[in-house]
Amino acid sequence: MVDKFTKRLSLWKENSLSIGGRFTLTKSVLGSLPLYYLSLYRARNKVMDALERVRIRFFWGFKEGEKGLTWVKWKTVLASFDLGGLGVGSIKAKNLSLLGKWWWRFRCEKHALWCKVIASIHGADGGFSTTMGASLK
């Protein structure tokens, strides 16, 4: 997934984009690339941190191996508009919310075929107790 991020970014010239253009690409494209993986699997912290680093470096326009000055903390950029941020959203929070959506559907749709298949493979809780419990810590 990290390779997909970097390959996608290598097609764009971050130096030729304004901060607004980099913001738009960071929020829309880099926010939606990992949706499939994040909705089905709990990503490891190392992977999520690496994805956030790629987003940070692209947003601020840093080249590979280059250090630079950031004007605002990344946590502020991730925060919602109401809290003074830009509303980009955290990858960790997105992963947890997408897994929570599947957990909720699993709990509410007990008689659906996909729930029966998951329960037969992973047990009555569908394997969510280990996935969600580890994510909440």
Q: Is the pLDDT of residue 135 over 60?
A: no
Q: What is the pTM of this model?
A: 0.74
Q: Can you tell me the distance from the alpha carbon of 75 to that of 38, in angstroms, rounded to the nearest whole number?
A: 20
Residues written for the chain = 137
Q: Is the pLDDT of residue 103 over 50?
A: yes
DSSP states of 25-78: HHHHHHHHTTHHHHHHS---HHHHHHHHHHHHHHHHTPPTT-----SS-HHHHH
- Average pLDDT of the chain is 81
When pLDDT is cut at 50, 70 and 90, the band that residue 136 belongs to is: very low
Kindly state the tokens that stand for 62. 């840093």
Q: Can you tell me the distance from the alpha carbon of 18 to that of 59, in angstroms, rounded to the nearest whole number?
A: 10
Q: Is the pLDDT of residue 87 over 50?
A: yes
Mean pLDDT within 59-83: 84
pLDDT of amino acid 10: 61
